[in-house]
């Protein structure tokens, strides 16, 4: 195949010749394959500049002349935004039917606040059983560093940080292999906000363990009784 002939716009009535197909069309399209093995099988002599899309990893790649390379930074991982939920004036928000087709689940809770000073926590799959373990370190400017130990039936990106009312906070929860059905789940969380009753900046980070062999298909974010203020978002990404 003669790659790099340029770009051609075909007009009505044009005769599509074999050389046109080989030199233009095949270079102008994104070729879709089930996976890299299928691509290797189909294209035995890739040409520099070819572009392909792999369905198993959702990766768009170009051929550099010596290798297939991810477009946009060289990373082989790809993120897919599965859901964006506006935080509303409720006490609890559940996002369900989360696709299990990824290797990692990442939840961003952005710019949330409570209507009175309080705490927030999270559960998976609506499970309020004694199946969680969380431990994290909290740093508070103007205060003391605290070890935060989670309770058994929830885990707390923020539950012991005593968040100030109306001050915005954000946190991230990451769970690799969240859809595994043959293993318990483990992950990390970290975030920051303002300590309740003060203007002290506070941040925290730690690990979580979830004793369940069910795939995580829903998350529930809830407060210690306060209402969320209607601002910010919960964004859920699947990462491959």
Partner 1 sequence: MTKPMIKEVNAETGEEVIRDMNDAEIAQLEADREDFKAVIKSQEDRAIAKAALLERLGITDEEAKLLLG
Give the interface with partner 1 as residue ranges (CB under 8 A): 82-83, 85, 88-99, 118-119, 121, 128, 144, 146, 149, 151, 153-154, 159-160, 162, 222, 224-225, 227, 236
The Cα–Cα gap between 226 and 64 comes to: 55
- H/E stretch holding 18 reads helix 18-20
CA proximity to 4, closest of 53, 63, 82, 60: 63
Q: Which is nearer to partner 1, 60 or 85 (CB)?
A: 85
Nearer to partner 1, 17 or 130 (CB): 130
Residue tagged 């990766």 (tokens): 59
Between 204 and 222, name the residue whose CB sits nearer to partner 1.
222
Q: Smallest distance, Å, CB 140 to partner 1? A: 12
Largest CA distance in the chain: 77
Least distance between partner 1 and beta carbon 97 (Å) = 4
Q: How far is the CB of 181 from partner 1 (least distance, A)?
A: 19
Shortest gap between Cβ of 179 and partner 1 (angstroms)?
Answer: 13
> Do the Cβ atoms of 157 and 220 come closer than 8 Å?
no
Instruction: Compare residues 17 and 91 and give the one whose CB is closer to partner 1.
Output: 91
Closest distance to partner 1 from the beta carbon of 199 (Å): 19
Rama region for 213: left / alpha / beta (φ>0; ψ in -120 to 50; rest):
alpha
Closest to partner 1 by CB, 52 vs 140, is: 140
Report the phi/psi class of residue 225: left, alpha or beta, with left for phi > 0 and alpha for psi in -120 to 50.
left
- Least distance from partner 1 to the Cβ atom of residue 110, Å: 15
Cα gap 168→142, rounded to integer Å: 18
For partner 1, which is the closer residue by CB, 54 or 95?
A: 95
CB of 154 to partner 1, least distance (A): 7
CB 225 within 8 A of CB 91: yes
Smaller CB separation from partner 1, 82 or 109: 82
Can you name the residues that pair with 238 across neighbouring β-strands? 80, 105
End-to-end Cα distance, the chain: 32
Which residue, 58, 55, 63, 64, is CA-closest to 76?
58
């Amino acid at each position: 195949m003669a790659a790099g002939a340029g770009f051609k716009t075909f007009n009505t009535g044009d005769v599509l010749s074999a050389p046109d197909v080989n030199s233009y069309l095949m270079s102008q399209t994104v070729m879709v394959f089930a996976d890299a093995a299928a691509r290797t099988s189909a294209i035995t002599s890739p040409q520099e500049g070819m572009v392909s899309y792999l369905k198993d990893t959702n990766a768009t790649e170009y051929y550099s002349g010596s290798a297939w390379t991810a477009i946009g930074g060289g990373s082989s991982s790809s993120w897919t935004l599965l859901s964006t939920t506006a935080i509303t004036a409720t006490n609890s928000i559940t996002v369900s039917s989360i696709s299990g087709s990824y290797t990692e689940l990442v939840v961003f809770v952005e710019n949330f606040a409570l209507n009175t000073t309080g705490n927030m926590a999270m559960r998976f799959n609506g499970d309020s059983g004694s199946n969680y373990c969380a431990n994290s370190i909290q740093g508070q400017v103007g205060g003391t560093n605290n070890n935060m130990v989670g309770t058994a039936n929830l885990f707390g990106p923020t539950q012991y940080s005593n968040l100030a009312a109306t001050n915005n906070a954000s946190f991230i929860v990451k769970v690799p292999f969240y859809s595994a059905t043959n293993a318990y789940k483990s992950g990390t969380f970290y975030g920051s906000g303002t300590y309740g009753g003060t203007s002290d900046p506070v941040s925290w980070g730690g690990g979580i363990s979830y004793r369940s062999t069910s795939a995580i298909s829903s998350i529930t974010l809830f407060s210690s009784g306060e209402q969320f203020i209607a601002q910010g978002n919960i964004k859920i990404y699947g990462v491959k």
